[in-house]
């Protein structure tokens, strides 16, 4: 095994860092890719197999990742838990579906995500508490990883907490819907949330951003919000003499449907993941959800 293979994230590098030897004909590393782009807000970063950073902060300019906390290379991230299709599907490393949400593409990526977490998470935690919001965050990150691994390049890895952050955005939207009766200015609040979510998801069409993690995290958080963030309807009193029930029929229906969709979605997603299903093979246009080619950049399918 040569040092060059390890540094490049090639077959020898994969075997050294993950203990998995890729079979012939399945592993096809490629160092070619579009120029790095630094979208905002902080994305779920995608790294190409050859070790080059797939999405770089502006001051990096797309340079290949190095072995440093500021800009770690792909083989280092893979070793410590990045979302790696081959490791999850053939290496019995399902833990990567969660650990990848705790890894970041350097200090700038980490700082940007933590600032976003403070902005999004503080109000939710103040209103609903640490445990409920923490559960939404963790499960949404996992849900984003499940969808991501179905569409991720077989020669790539992804890292970042953006799937979990999008889950909090989705939960904020569903919380507003299910607790509609207790809010004032709710229409304006809903429009603002929808615009923010749409802009953030639209930025995911830039190259080297794993928008499937964003979409999966948002959808998971949206459903979890109906389950975990439900509040008593307006006018309900905890006293026994209260004529109103604690939750109205609308809230109960949304909760029931959300639980069913979460169970069905995770069951179908995980079965598909561990069967090695390639989502792109069953959806010819889905790759446009994560990257739309233009005259300024190309996209890897």
Catalytic residue among 162, 174, 258, 287: 162
Is the Cβ–Cβ distance between 65 and 82 less than 8 Å? no
Give burial (CB, 10 Å; 0-12/13-18/19+) of 3.
exposed
What is 39-289's CATH superfamily? Answer: Rhomboid-like (1.20.1540.10)
Q: What is the pLDDT of residue 95?
A: 94
Q: What is the pLDDT of residue 16?
A: 45
| Domain spans, the chain | 39-289
Q: Write out the DSSP string of the chain.
A: --HHHHHHT-HHHHHHHHS--PPTTT-------PPP---SSPP-EEEETTS--SS--TTTTTPPPBSSSSSB-HHHHHHTT-EEHHHHHHS--TTHHHHTTT--SSHHHHHHHHHHHHHHHHHHHHHH-HHHHHHHHHHHHHHHHHHHHHHS-TTEEEE-SHHHHHHHHHHHHHHHHHTGGG-SSHHHHHHHHHHHHHHHHHHTTSTTB-HHHHHHHHHHHHHHHHHHS--PPTT--SSTT-SS-SS-HHHHHHHHHHHHHHHHHHHHHHHHHHTT--HHHH-TTGGGGT----SS-----
Q: What is the pLDDT of residue 232?
A: 84
Q: What does pLDDT average to in each consecutive run of 10 residues of the chain (301 residues)? A: 40 45 35 36 46 30 48 80 90 92 85 87 91 97 95 83 93 92 80 85 76 94 96 65 73 96 97 91 82 74 56
Length of the chain: 301
Q: What is the pLDDT of residue 111?
A: 87
Q: What is the pLDDT of residue 198?
A: 85
Q: What is the pLDDT of residue 36?
A: 36
Active site residue 287: no
Active site residue 162: yes
Q: What is the pLDDT of residue 239?
A: 53
Catalytic residue among 104, 109, 214, 287: 214
Closest CA to 116 of 72, 163, 83, 71: 163
Q: What is the CA radius of gyration of the chain?
A: 21
- The span from the first CA to the last CA of the chain, in angstroms, equals 30
């Amino acid at each position: 095994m040569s040092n060059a293979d390890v540094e490049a994230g090639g077959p020898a590098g994969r075997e050294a860092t993950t203990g998995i030897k890729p079979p012939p004909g399945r592993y096809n590393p490629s160092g070619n890719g579009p120029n790095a782009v630094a979208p905002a807000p902080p994305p779920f970063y995608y790294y190409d197999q050859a070790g080059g950073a797939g999405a770089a902060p502006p001051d990096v300019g797309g340079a290949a990742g190095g072995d440093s906390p500021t800009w770690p290379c792909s083989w280092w991230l893979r070793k410590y838990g990045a979302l790696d299709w081959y490791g999850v599907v053939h290496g019995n490393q399902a833990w990567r579906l969660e650990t990848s949400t705790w890894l970041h593409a350097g200090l700038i990526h980490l700082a940007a995500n933590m600032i976003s977490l403070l902005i999004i998470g503080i109000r939710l935690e103040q209103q609903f508490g640490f445990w409920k919001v923490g559960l939404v965050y963790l499960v949404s990150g996992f849900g984003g990883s499940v969808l991501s691994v179905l569409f991720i390049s077989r020669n790539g890895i992804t890292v970042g907490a953006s799937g979990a952050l999008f889950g909090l955005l989705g939960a904020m939207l569903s919380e507003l819907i299910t607790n509609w009766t207790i809010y004032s200015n709710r229409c304006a609040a809903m429009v603002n949330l929808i615009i923010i979510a749409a802009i953030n998801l639209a930025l995911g069409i830039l190259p080297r951003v794993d928008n499937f993690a964003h979409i999966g995290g948002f959808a998971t958080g949206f459903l979890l919000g109906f389950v975990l963030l439900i509040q008593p309807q307006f006018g309900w009193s905890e006293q026994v003499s209260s004529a109103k029930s604690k939750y109205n029929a609308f809230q109960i229906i949304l909760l029931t449907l959300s639980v069913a969709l979460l169970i069905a979605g995770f069951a179908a997603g995980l079965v598909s993941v561990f069967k090695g299903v390639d989502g792109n093979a069953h959806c010819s246009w889905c790759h446009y959800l994560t990257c739309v080619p233009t005259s300024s950049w190309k996209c890897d399918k």
